[in-house]
Amino acid sequence: MALLVSCPTRSLADDLRALSDEFDNASSLAAWSRIFEVEGWGADQMESLDINASRSGYLTMVPKTSSWYRDWRGILMFKRVTGDFVVTMEVEPRGRNLEGAPNSSYSLAGIMARAPRDTLTQPSEWTANGENYIFLSLGTANNPGHYQFEVKSTVNSSSHLEIDEGAPRAIIQVARLGEVFLVLRKLEGRDWEVHRRYRRSDMPDTLQVGITAYTDWSPIELMDPFEHNRSSIDGHNPDLNAAVDYFRFRRPRVPSALAEADFSDRFEVSDAQVLDLFGDRANRDPAAAAVVELEITGKAYAPGIGLEVEFESIPGVFYRVEKSEDLRSWTFVESAEAVAERSSFRVPDPQGKASLYLRIAED
């Protein structure tokens, strides 16, 4: 006999899930790589950095005077990701006095996806025109004291940036689908929106994906980029305290109807279709309680064959079925894309077990 439990839980099969950080454990800082260490610069541009210390449940970043622009290389804490991904973070940037927007130009924090410079292990190996990345950051840009977004795409150290109105706090998201990068944002009290789309055929399969923070552009633009990159700059007017609530990694799932679509083309894949796939759907709190909302429309058990479960589904959404004997430990059974408004899974006989618990989850 089988007892059925249905709930839209987070997928257990997502191979990127383990990279996520809710910033509630100080020891998780060791799992992040720092660009100044990986490339052998030896100069930490961060004034202070901690998890769950300055603010409970947050990563807190207080950068020194530093920046990302053209050949100027700033702060990045990252994890290496191969293939498609979607990453989401919630960020609250403030001045160092924790009262409102930063008061120094280009003081922001956000998501960066950067091509590794694997041949760079010490300053003497650095060459110009080698920076390739995309980022979306929140803070203050060219209007100190006011919240702004900065989105930037840099190709061979040629940077193209755009600035628009920001907010004190936002959820931001970057998704990679092959050569296409989607940049999304959600301001407090507003809906998700697709902010920018980029086609970057130059990006390698493996990227450095993580969090950047930078501040105080005015003195930097007078510096030689190489000197900036190898320096930990004291003084001047750095003014950013960035608090990050979480940084979540997920492997995107694209329905078969859009498998060959060009996501850089708004006419081929609309903003509404992008938001159906990403936004909140790609940003689930792993600690949040599951909300039962799937309706089971039928089930039938055949001895020696197993249990077949039919449920209401959304075409194009991926679902999975998991089984348990004790409601504590769950094992993956099957995953599939729904192609109709009703779908079904067949679970083999529990091999002599008197009872078996099942749950169907959005994948």
Tens of pLDDT, residue by residue over 155-196, are 999 999 999 999 999 999 999 999 999 999 999 899 999 999
Count CB atoms within 10 A of the CB of residue 44: 15
| pTM higher than 0.75 | yes
The winner for highest mean pLDDT among 161-175, 289-303, 344-358 is 161-175
Tokens 């099957």 map to which residue?
334
CA-CA distance, 245 to 247, in Å (whole number)?
7
Tens of pLDDT, residue by residue over 66-92, are 999 999 999 999 999 999 999 999 999
HSE-up (13 A, CA, CB side) for residue 250: 26
CA-CA distance, 100 to 94, in Å (whole number)?
5
Range name among 50-64, 107-121, 291-305 with the lowest pLDDT average: 291-305
Residue 245 CB partners (closer than 8 Å, separation 6+): 23, 57, 58, 89, 90, 91, 92
Does residue 63 have a pLDDT over 70?
A: yes
